[in-house]
Amino acid sequence: MPCFVPFDNKKLDVSFFAFRPTGVFADELIDAVKYFSFHAEDLGCVYSSVLRSIHGNMIVWYGAWLRRSPDNRKMLNDALLSVLEEVSTMGVLLHHGFFEAFFGESKDGSSLAKFSSGDTIFLSAMASTPRDVADLSYACLALHKTFFAKTDGLSADVHLRCNDQPVVAALMVWKSLHACYSWLLRSDYRNTILPYFSHLSQDAQFDVFKVVYVNRDEILNVSPFPPRTIGGGDGEE
């Protein structure tokens, strides 16, 4: 079963948690974050996945949730951070936040980006200022319209704004790693595309990821979390 990212914010909130493994604990951290998905389901997560960076040393957890009020979303975020204290010896939490999708498009005409284990994902995030974040969002949309339809191997592209910080992110689903590499080289992403946003963002990051888990995959046998954090939960949002 695939995982989904919506193209609008009508029904779902989405969240991202980015980690850097400590020392040699990358595989252990991935297993721990997979089990974090099970706990997130107890708190109302409907879709989740784990992404592993191909070029760098980063692991990203993605979760989609039924829409909730800002206060309930903050309570949920606090609950998630509490659970993630259990993995602090295996990795450092670099970034996290809830996002709202403001635009997306797929080659098959659906209203969701969908991906499964083994797929290739390109993620980018650009920090801006409260004054410029709307213009940055528009610039991302304008750039999308110049290349999406004519880019071979690109299945879907979705753009998101962070709820609590002036950050704009993009998630692109590719049919293969080769297709993603070809686009990066052909577009000269670092030297041609990133400067297009330089007047609106001085801090842009991007990487290519492999999907190593979605929450419809098989259930694992061994839990790296203490029993109290798995399968129970307090049911709070």
Q: Which pTM was predicted?
A: 0.88
Q: Do residues 76 and 237 make contact, with C-beta atoms less than 8 angstroms apart?
A: yes
Q: What's the sign of the alpha-carbon dihedral 18, 160, 212, 231?
A: positive
The four Cα atoms 84, 211, 48, 108 give a dihedral, to 10 degrees, of: 160
β-bridge mates for residue 91, sequence order: 21
Burial label for 190, CB within 10 Å (0-12, 13-18, 19+), is exposed
Give the span between the Cα atoms of 28 and 8, in whole angstroms.
34
User: CATH number for the 3-217 domain, one of 1.10.10.60, 3.30.70.100, 3.40.50.720, 3.40.50.970?
Assistant: 3.30.70.100
Going from N- to C-terminal start, the domains of the chain cover 3-217
pLDDT of residue 223: 46
pLDDT confidence bin for 215, thresholds 50/70/90:
confident
Mean pLDDT over all residues of the chain?
A: 89
pLDDT of residue 222: 41
Strand ranges (E), the chain: 3-6, 12-21, 45-53, 59-66, 91-106, 112-115, 120-127, 154-162, 167-174, 203-214
Q: DSSP states of 151-195 as a string?
A: -TTEEEEEEEEESSSSEEEEEEEES-HHHHHHHHHHHTIIIIIGG
Give helix then strand counts, H and E, for the chain.
Answer: 4, 10
Which residue has tokens 């259990």? 86
Tens-place pLDDT, residues 154-180: 999 999 999 999 999 999 999 999 999
Predicted confidence (pLDDT) at residue 224 exceeds the cutoff of 70: no
Give the span between the Cα atoms of 79 and 71, in whole angstroms.
13
Give the span between the Cα atoms of 148 and 58, in whole angstroms.
26
Tens-place pLDDT, residues 21-62: 998 889 999 999 999 998 899 899 999 999 999 987 899 999
